[in-house]
Amino acid sequence: MNDITVVPVPALVEPSNAAYELRADAAIRSDSASVGAYLAEALRPATGFALPVEAAHPRPAIELRLVGHGPDEGYELVVEADGIVVRARREAGLFYGVQTLLQLLPSTVDAATVQDGPWIVPGGRIADEPRFSYRGAMLDVARHFFGVEVVLRFIDALSRYKINVLHLHLSDDQGWRIAIESWPQLARVGGATQVGGAGGGWFSQADYARIVAHAAARHVTVVPEIDMPGHTNAALHACPALNDDGVPPAAYTGVEVGFSTLAVGREETYAFVRDVLAEVAAITPGPWLHIGGDEAQNTSAQDYRTFMARVQPMVTALGKTVIAWHQIGPTEREPGRIAQYWGAKPEPDEDLLAALAQGDRILLSPADRVYLDMRYTAETPIGHDWAGYITTQTAYDWDPDTLLPGPCDIVGIEAPLWTESVATAADIDLLTFPRLPAVAEVAWSPQAARDWAGFRARLAAHGPRWTLRGVAFHPDPTVF
Ligand code: IFG
């Protein structure tokens, strides 16, 4: 296990002189049917091996064992000449041990067709666990809509790097993207367009259930966001009753922000919010509902506080925990809420300071480090630059513990991809790879175990894997 190219880098690697060769007669024995099946399906195309998965086997090549001890998402991986064993307290740990194992095999294992072996795994022991429990990526499906298949592919890609949360930005000025049965016009009318005017779309609740199930099988929790009270033109356009004068604004297909607001003094607004949150909560098994709260520039500070004081308890009453952009900081605090910080240095941020003063837990999304819609350089054909350029090194070379002023309870890190300028799956790939694996390592690996020089050498070895998997990544010269 010398010079391994695993990303995120494991907490502890103890190389040995042994090695294991996976052969055609190999069998997998697994305490977890789902992780066993995942591993077999990941190995079969490139090896061409049958790789039966069995609950009991006299001499399995690979064994996935659930044991009654160890850290929540941690695992131990031991590779010896006569076999490989992954041990974990939970299935998620087995899944993460499998991701590491796949990265210990030659990169050709990621091919969709049979490749030549030998399939050698270097020997040794890895003991690993994550630094942060919330390791997320966000996909904005509101500015440009992306169908289920694109979202499932995004989940496949991020789960290989032990990312365990997918935040879906489901509503904004340009589009409403989740069907709400009690307000059918929301998606039908509010989802009819997108940035630029052509196209649009939305998820039926069955589509959303497919996304949730695919994510769960890869130990990814879905966090739905209904952005309020700002970023609401699509809802206002779709529902005349939400507008104070009953006259809906036109559909918006531009890229400005901050101009829309729900009518805070109108009772229909709270009936709308209650119905929407109830339906979204009912189809979301995860613990969190994201209620947005950013850029409510057309909502007075008092109205914003009034709105949030009424809406946050609705989330709690649904048995969920509030996540909101850190502008929520000054409002009445809801127990357990998470403020998602998206500031960029060096602005002193009153809302963040208020969130910290209230004891909010913090989800870090520093825009000048992890906003995947930022260009890499001035030459990047799509993306923004308001938070600066973000190369893979910029995304990697920082310490979450020293980012914010003063002590705070950091739940983890999330890399948002806003899609004003992102229209295709190839655009998603270009901005996401290689920077999301960099953020994944910041969120998973011990600070002391990681450094840019070592990371870039390891990450460069992932280029061939992405090519084999059809990921149209950016060949960032700071990496390759
Ligand atoms: N800020 C807005 C997003 C998006 C983004 C693009 C947040 C929380 C700029 N809000 O980021 O809607 O427009 O970089």
Choosing from 418, 421, 431 the residue with most ligand 1 atoms within 8 A of its CB, the one to mutate for a pocket test is 418
Q: Are residues 254 and 147 part of one domain?
A: yes
Beta carbon of 295 within 6 Å of any ligand 1 atom: yes
**How far, rounded to the nearest angstrom, does the alpha carbon of residue 169 sit from its chain's CA centroid?**
11
User: Ligand 1, atom 9: nearest CA belongs to which residue?
Assistant: 418
Helix (H) or strand (E) holding 351: helix 350-357
Assign 3-state DSSP to the chain and report helix, strand, coil percentages, each to 5.
Answer: 35, 20, 45
Q: What is the 290 CA–ligand 1 centroid distance (Å)?
A: 15
Q: Is residue 329 part of a domain?
A: yes
Rg (CA), the chain: 23
Per the structure block, which two tokens stand in for 195? 């940035």
- Written in H, E and C, the secondary structure of 355-408 is HHHCCCEEEECCHHHHCCCECCCCCCCCCECCCCCCCHHHHHCCCHHHCCCCCC
Mean pLDDT to the nearest integer, 350-357: 95
Query: What token pair was written down for 333?
Result: 């605090």
Instruction: Determine whether the shortest distance from the Cβ of 342 to ligand 1 is under 6 A.
Output: yes
Give catalytic residues, as residue numbers: 295
For residue 418, report the distance from its CA to the centre of ligand 1, in Å: 7
Whether the upstream peptide bond of residue 434 has omega within 30° of 0, thus cis, is yes
The C-alpha atoms of residue 74 and residue 53 are separated, in whole angstroms, by: 23
* Residue 345: predicted pLDDT: 78
Instruction: Give the mean pLDDT of 5-29.
Output: 97
CATH code for the domain in which residue 329 is found = 3.20.20.80
For 65-75, write each residue's pLDDT tens digit: 999 899 999 99
Judge whether 478 lies within some domain: no
The DSSP secondary structure of 252-263, one letter per residue, reads --S---S-----
Q: Provide the pLDDT confidence category of residue 59 given band limits of 50, 70 and 90.
A: confident
Residue 248: the pLDDT is: 98
Find the domain containing 49 and state its range. Answer: 12-128
Question: What is the per-residue pLDDT across 429-441, written as a single tens digit (0 to 9) for each?
Answer: 999 999 999 999 9
Q: Residue type for 154, please?
A: F
Question: Of 67, 94, 128, which residue sits at a domain end?
Answer: 128
Q: Which helix (H) or strand (E) holds 346?
A: none
Report residue 57's pLDDT band, with 50, 70 and 90 as the boundaries: confident
Nearest CA to ligand 1 atom 11: 342
Residue 346, pLDDT above cutoff 70? no
Instruction: Report phi then psi at 21, rounded to 5.
Output: -105, 120
CB 135 within 8 A of CB 118: no
Q: What is the mean pLDDT of the chain?
A: 97
Measured CA to CA, the distance from residue 417 to residue 142 in angstroms comes to: 11
| Confidence bin at 92 (pLDDT 50/70/90) | very high
- Is a pLDDT exceeding 90 seen at residue 347? no
pLDDT, one tens digit per residue, over 189-225 is 999 999 999 999 999 999 999 999 999 999 999 999 9
Percent of the chain whose predicted confidence (pLDDT) is above 70:
100
Last residue of a domain, one of 99, 128, 157: 128
Q: From the CA of 384, give the closest atom in ligand 1.
A: 14
* CA 101–ligand 1 middle distance (angstroms): 37
Mapped onto helix, strand or coil, the DSSP state of residue 64 is: strand
Last residue of a domain, one of 94, 128, 162: 128
Q: Which residues pair with 323 in a beta bridge?
A: 290, 338
Cα–Cα–Cα angle for 218, 316, 159, rounded to 5 degrees: 10
Q: Is the pLDDT of residue 406 over 90?
A: no
pLDDT at 58 over 90: no
CB neighbourhood size of 335 (10 A): 10
For the CA of 416, the nearest atom of ligand 1: 11
Closest Cα to atom 5, ligand 1: which residue? 418
Q: Are residues 117 and 167 in the same domain?
A: no
Q: Is residue 373 within 6 Å of ligand 1 at its C-beta?
A: yes
341 lines ligand 1 (CB under 6 A): no
Q: What is the pLDDT of residues 119-169, one digit of tens each?
A: 999 999 999 999 999 999 999 999 999 999 999 999 999 999 999 999 999
- Which two three-digit tokens encode residue 60? 């399995």
Q: What is the DSSP letter of 173?
A: T
Tell me how far the alpha carbon of residue 23 lies from the centroid of ligand 1, in angstroms. Answer: 50
Which residue's alpha carbon is nearest to atom 7 within ligand 1? 294
Q: Is 472 a domain residue?
A: no
Pocket perturbation via mutation, ligand 1, pick of 294, 374, 389 by most ligand atoms within 8 A of CB: 294
Q: Which CATH number characterizes residue 115's domain?
A: 3.30.379.10
H-helix or E-strand spanning residue 53? strand 53-54
Split at pLDDT 50, 70, 90, the class of 348 is: confident
Same domain, 287 and 432: yes
Structurally, the chain folds into a number of domains equal to 2
Residue 404 counted as domain residue: yes
Let me know: does 49 contact 116? Beta carbons within 8 Å.
no
For residue 417, is it left (φ>0), alpha (ψ between -120 and 50) or beta?
beta
- Strands of 238-337 (E only): list them: 288-292, 321-325
Residues 79 and 198 in one domain: no
Q: Give the CA distances from residue 88 to residues 16, 30, 74, 131, in Å, rounded to whole numbers and listed in that order.
A: 21, 12, 6, 16
Closest CA to 294 of 223, 351, 253, 224: 351
Q: What would the two tokens of residue 301 be?
A: 């500070």
Q: Each residue of 312-332: pLDDT tens digit?
A: 999 999 999 999 999 999 999
The closest residue, in CA terms, to atom 6 on ligand 1 is: 418
Q: Are residues 168 and 115 in the same domain?
A: no
Rounded average pLDDT over 19-28: 97
Instruction: Check: CB of residue 130 under 8 Å from CB of residue 444.
Output: yes
Report the SS3 class of residue 288.
strand
Query: Rounded to an integer, what distance in angstroms lies between the CA atom of residue 376 and that of residue 161?
Result: 21
